[in-house]
Each structure stands twice: as C-alpha cells, then as structure tokens.
C-alpha cells in the first residue's frame, strides 16, 4: 500500500515539474530559428481564430461627441506608398467580382444613392497612435446587399489604386458601423485621405481601413490576405 502511494506521489511530482518546465521549453523553442516562424504563425492563427469567435455583430465601437473630434487639419495622413496615387475621380468605379449576383463596375453616385451614415469614431493605428474623426458614407452591408453578395462567403477582399490590398471577414463587413466612406467631416473625401472611397471600420485596426478602393472581391477562398497580413501581421485584428 505504501509502495503504491509512493509511486502515485512520485507521478504527481513529475507532472508538476513538467508543467513548471513547459514555459521554459516553449521559450527555448522560440530560440531555435527553424521553428520560430511556425510557432509564431500558429500563435497568430490561434489569436485570430479566438478573436473571430468573440466578435459580436451587435456590439458597437465607441462613438464620440462632435466636441471630441480632432480638427480635420490635425487628422494624421498615413499612407502605404504614396499620398496620392493619381486616381481619375471623374472616371472612377469600384469593380465588384466573386460571389455576387450583380458583378460589375459601380460608380460613386450609385454608392452615394444608398442610405448615408455619419459617425464619430476612433481610428487606431498599429504604430501606436489613435485619433477621433468624423466619417460618412454608405454602410458596407447595404452595398453588399445591393450587389447581391453571398452572405455565406467568408471574406471581402479589396484592392486599391496604390496597389495596397487587405481582407475583411464577412461578419465585420456586415457590421453596421463598417462604411464605404466617401466623406470626412461632412465634406467629400480628399485625395490624401483616400478619395474617392475608402473603408472606415472602427472595429478593426487602422491597416484594415484601406484607401483608394478600386476592386472588391467576395470569396471564401483567399490566395493572399493583405499587404501587411502577408508579412506576418494579424489577418483579423479586431478591436
């Protein structure tokens, strides 16, 4: 009896010691170059999966009073490549492809004909700064319904005039605060802020708020995720 008790006690001690050593072993694994990337990708993938599961379509990002909005001239201009890729604003269209009933090219006037929403929300940059601005435009969900996007598709992939690209999960795309933004501060979007149409998604990090939109692709299969995402940044990054 004492022998079985001693053996059981020894097993318990070994299990505790293994648990104590586990973080050390994991940290040691990160020091091995051949496994660093796979561990980081696995961790990021798990983080994105958990974040997506926790996302609530009915949960709104904070909104703010007009007094809390930063003056337009102090709203930072942050670009991927150039401040103005030279979009021909008069000839601009948004090309829609993929899992939609009405693929084609849509004009700014067609987007502006949808119900307009204005909101004071916070833009949060991955570089560490944030700012409250006033944004206006059509709800992305209204545009998706207008073009007949498949609700069962998983992603909205967008491309931009400056060759930037990113992906929005469908649940976020259909969130009521996600905008096809064509106004800032009740005025038409300026070139440096992404004219004629950009994304304004206050439930996502700044690099998801793509500017100078030219194409929208509805799909469940991605060949690429986003400019920053394909370099190791979070593909979901909800706020």
Q: Where are the domains of the chain?
A: 2-49, 58-231
Share of the chain above pLDDT 90, in %: 70
Contacts of 232 (CB under 8 A, 6+ apart): 40, 41, 44
pLDDT per position as a tens digit, 80-91: 677 789 999 999
Mean pLDDT score of the chain: 84
- pLDDT reading at 24 higher than 80: no
Burial category of 91 from C-beta neighbours within 10 Å (exposed 0-12, middle 13-18, buried 19 and up): exposed
Task: Flag whether pLDDT at 27 surpasses 60.
Answer: no
Cβ atoms within 10 Å, residue 131: 14
Please say if the pLDDT value at position 163 is more than 50.
yes
What's the burial of 139, exposed, middle or buried (CB within 10 Å: 0-12/13-18/19+)? buried
Which helix (H) or strand (E) segment holds residue 13: the answer is helix 2-30
pTM higher than 0.75, yes or no? yes
Task: State residue 26's pLDDT score.
Answer: 42
| Domain boundaries 58-231, CATH class | alpha beta
Mean pLDDT along residues 23-46? 49
> Cα-flanking dihedrals φ and ψ of residue 6, to 5°?
-65, -40
- The answer, yes or no, to whether residue 5 has pLDDT greater than 90, is no
Question: What CA–CA distance (Å, rounded) separates 51 from 54?
Answer: 5
Over 80: is that where the pLDDT of 145 sits? yes
Q: Exposed e or buried b for every residue in 213-237, given b needs 16+ CB within 10 A?
A: bbbbbbbeeeeebbbbbeeebbbbb
Has residue 123 got a pLDDT over 90?
A: yes
Determine the pLDDT at residue 83.
77
């Amino acid at each position: 009896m004492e022998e079985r008790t001693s053996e059981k006690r020894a097993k318990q001690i070994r299990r505790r010691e293994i648990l104590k050593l586990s973080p050390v072993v994991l940290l040691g694994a990160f020091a091995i170059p051949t496994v660093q990337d796979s561990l980081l990708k696995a961790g990021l993938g798990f983080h994105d999966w958990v974040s997506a599961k926790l996302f609530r379509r009915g949960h709104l990002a904070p909104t703010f009073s007009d007094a809390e909005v930063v003056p337009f001239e102090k709203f930072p201009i942050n670009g991927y490549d150039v401040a103005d890729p030279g979009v021909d604003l008069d000839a601009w269209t948004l090309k829609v492809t993929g899992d939609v009933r009405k693929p084609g090219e849509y004009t700014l006037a067609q987007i502006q004909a949808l119900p307009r929403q204005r909101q004071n929300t916070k833009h949060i940059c991955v570089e560490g700064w944030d700012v409250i601005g006033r944004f206006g435009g059509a709800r992305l969900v209204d545009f998706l319904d207008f073009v007949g996007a498949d609700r069962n598709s998983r992603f909205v992939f967008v491309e931009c005039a400056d060759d930037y690209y990113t992906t929005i999960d469908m649940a976020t795309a259909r969130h009521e605060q996600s905008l096809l933004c064509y106004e800032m501060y009740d005025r038409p979007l300026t070139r440096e802020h992404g004219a004629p149409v950009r994304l304004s998604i206050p439930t996502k990090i700044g690099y998801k708020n793509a500017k100078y939109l030219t194409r929208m692709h509805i799909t469940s299969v991605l060949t690429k995720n986003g400019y920053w995402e394909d370099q190791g940044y979070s593909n979901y990054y909800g706020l």
